[in-house]
């Protein structure tokens, strides 16, 4: 099939690349000329496992084309995906300005009948608004091209986005047009062998499914973090509690890890947007508001533990920090707990030495010209002259470190583990003071 994907961020670039991998002809369109030129030269704007090789391979084959000219893609495509960002606005709602501008541009430039698919995460009712915008532009032009709207929410996890795209848990399609549904099902057929994973519903329900899914996962994280905080106060071990809770088949273990809060480009903004959607519709989502509040407070737990140990004034103290990205497998630092932790410690007078396998360059931009933070090239280099080690992101290379090296290089033999990676008894036997979340 001939496909155009508008937007080359996480969703657009991964989606377009994976479609091209299956033999489709794909135009990836973006207004950022520097990004497009970089992609043509095999330089990725994001880190995602397997993505670079797939982009280079399919671009060389000629079935993955990068351009800033939307009309080039619209002239050849049968299906057009809108995959631009919908960041959180200042009022907590999803900012749809770029989505609506893209819809206007489609209406101005489309030269044939099209299927138009919303891949961006958008609030319920956005599909209807996009349809009106496009139709308005077609009416202005006096042309009668037919188009059918589809909602096709993405469920990609950063760090495994390529794998999630190639082997999706489910594909949700919001449409009431049988021919369109058949075409989209044909497009996704190489990825889905079982028909029960291809789910068809109305557009508004599809839009809501994305928000409800992310809100549920965020709720499980905040729930377990609240349980962790109770455990710490009553003398229970949240790691053991998790085993007891997760063994129930109705619950399971996924997203029940206590930690220093969730971040990233999806959960924070989607929970906020769903709260606003409910409020605009006349309902106050009480649980979701608490999910958001708990997460905001959870990012400060490590700071509180350090202050309880060293006092409110952290002047003349230095801390090594492992992990800057909001999760392993990505360089994304949007809403990352590390940013809150670092800023909180620096505000209290501390200095930070930080290491991350992929996110260092992003972090340098965030903390530009801040003389209180140093970025190291090795996880062990952050230990020198440090009064404690803080673990924020659970990268694999942090899971089995050389504890003798850590012990010998730290000034104070203290570890603050924001991801509960290690066994408390082992660390205590090795001579460390070891602080976990909820333990």
Q: What is the DSSP letter of 318?
A: E
Distance between first and last Cα of the chain: 54
Pairing of strands 25-29, 64-67: parallel
How far is residue 309 from each of residues 313, 352, 353, 407, measured CA to CA in Å? Answer: 11, 17, 19, 18
H or E element in which residue 174 lies: strand 171-174
Q: Which of 28, 231, 266, 376 is catalytic?
A: 266
Label residue 256 left, alpha or beta by phi (over 0 means left) and psi (-120 to 50 means alpha). alpha
Residue 12 · residue 84 · CB < 8 Å = yes
* Bridge partner list, 351: 318
Q: Which residue has the tokens 């999806």?
A: 266
Active site includes 266?
A: yes
Residue 80 · residue 106 · CB < 8 Å = yes
Dihedral sign for Cα atoms in the order 17, 23, 24, 25: positive
The length of the chain is: 439
Q: What is the DSSP letter of 382?
A: G
* Cα–Cα distance, 420 to 135 (Å, whole number): 53
* Cα–Cα distance, 287 to 275 (Å, whole number): 9
* Cα–Cα distance, 418 to 406 (Å, whole number): 17
Q: Which residue has the tokens 């939307």?
A: 70
- Tokens matching residue 86: 């919908």
Write out the catalytic residue numbers.
266
């Amino acid at each position: 099939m001939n496909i155009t994907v508008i937007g080359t961020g996480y969703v657009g670039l991964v989606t377009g690349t994976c479609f091209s991998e299956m033999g489709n002809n794909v135009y990836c369109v973006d207004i950022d000329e520097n990004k497009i030129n970089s992609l043509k030269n095999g330089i990725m704007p994001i880190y995602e496992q397997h993505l670079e090789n797939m982009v280079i391979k399919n671009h060389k084959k000629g079935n993955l084309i990068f351009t800033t000219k939307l009309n080039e893609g619209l002239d050849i495509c049968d299906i057009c995906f809108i995959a631009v960002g919908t960041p959180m606005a200042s009022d907590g709602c999803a900012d749809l300005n770029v989505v609506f501008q893209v819809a206007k541009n489609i209406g101005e430039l489309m030269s044939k009948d099209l299927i138009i698919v919303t891949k961006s995460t958008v609030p319920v009712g956005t599909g209807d608004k996009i349809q009106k915008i496009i139709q308005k532009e077609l009416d202005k032009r006096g042309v009668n091209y037919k188009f059918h709207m589809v909602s096709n929410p993405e469920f990609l996890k950063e760090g495994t986005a390529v794998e999630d795209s190639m082997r999706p848990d489910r594909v949700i399609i919001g449409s009431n047009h049988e021919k369109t549904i058949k075409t989209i099902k044909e497009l996704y057929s190489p990825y889905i062998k079982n028909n029960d994973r291809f789910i068809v519903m109305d557009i508004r329900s599809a839009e809501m499914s994305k928000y409800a899914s992310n809100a549920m996962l965020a709720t499980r994280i905040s729930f377990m973090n609240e349980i962790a905080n109770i455990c710490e106060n009553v003398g229970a071990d949240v790691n053991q509690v998790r085993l007891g809770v997760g063994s129930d088949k109705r619950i399971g273990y996924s997203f029940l890890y206590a930690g220093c809060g969730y971040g990233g480009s999806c959960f924070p903004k989607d929970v906020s947007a769903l709260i606003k959607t409910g409020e605009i519709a006349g309902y106050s989502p009480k649980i979701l508001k608490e999910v958001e509040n708990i997460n905001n407070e959870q990012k400060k737990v490590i700071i509180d533990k350090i202050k309880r140990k060293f006092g409110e004034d952290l002047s003349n103290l230095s801390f090594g920090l492992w992990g800057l990205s909001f999760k392993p497998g990505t360089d994304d630092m949007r809403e990352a707990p590390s940013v809150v932790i670092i800023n909180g410690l620096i505000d209290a007078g501390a200095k930070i030495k930080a290491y991350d396998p992929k996110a260092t360059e992003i972090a340098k931009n965030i903390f530009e010209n801040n003389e209180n933070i140093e970025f190291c090239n090795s996880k062990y280099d952050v230990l020198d002259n440090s009064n404690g080690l803080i673990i924020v992101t659970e990268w694999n290379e942090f899971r089995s470190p050389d504890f003798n090296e850590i012990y010998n290089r730290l000034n104070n033999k203290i570890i603050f583990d924001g991801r509960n990676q290690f066994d408390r008894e082992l660390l205590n036997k090795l001579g460390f003071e070891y602080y976990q979340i909820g333990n």
